[in-house]
Amino acid sequence: MPTSLDDLNSKLFREQLNTRFNVHAGGQRLPLELVEVTEDAAAKQMDCFSLHFFGPFNPRLPQQIHRLEHEKLGTLEIFLTAISADGKGTMYEAVFHRFRKQT
């Protein structure tokens, strides 16, 4: 069962910077490295952050929900979009925008 995204936040992802996530696509297991976590701290009632993953140039993942596996975070299902590519690889982005939990 995938980890609930409600339990994950930018701090938890930031602790996993430069670590490997594996995604299954087209019968292949592709490595993605979490290279950046950005947060919009100005949104007081919203939890707004984005993740940037760097992966191989080919095959390029389609824009859709992908199942990622991580050693510490477990299995996650997140929407990835390719945002840039060069001869070295492809950069993907996942954006989180949700109301903060009331404490």
Tell me the pLDDT tens digit for each residue of 55-64: 999 999 999 9
If pLDDT is split at 50, 70 and 90, which confidence band does 4 have? Answer: confident
Provide the pLDDT for residue 103: 58
Provide the pLDDT for residue 99: 77
Half-sphere exposure of 2 (CA within 13 A, CB side): 12
Provide the pLDDT for residue 102: 65
Locate the DSSP E strands across the chain.
Answer: 20-25, 28-39, 46-55, 64-70, 74-86, 89-99
Q: What is the mean pLDDT of residues 1-11?
A: 81
Q: Which domain holds residue 20?
A: 5-99
Look at the chain and report how many structural domains it folds into.
1
Tell me the pLDDT tens digit for each residue of 16-45: 999 999 998 878 899 999 999 999 877 677
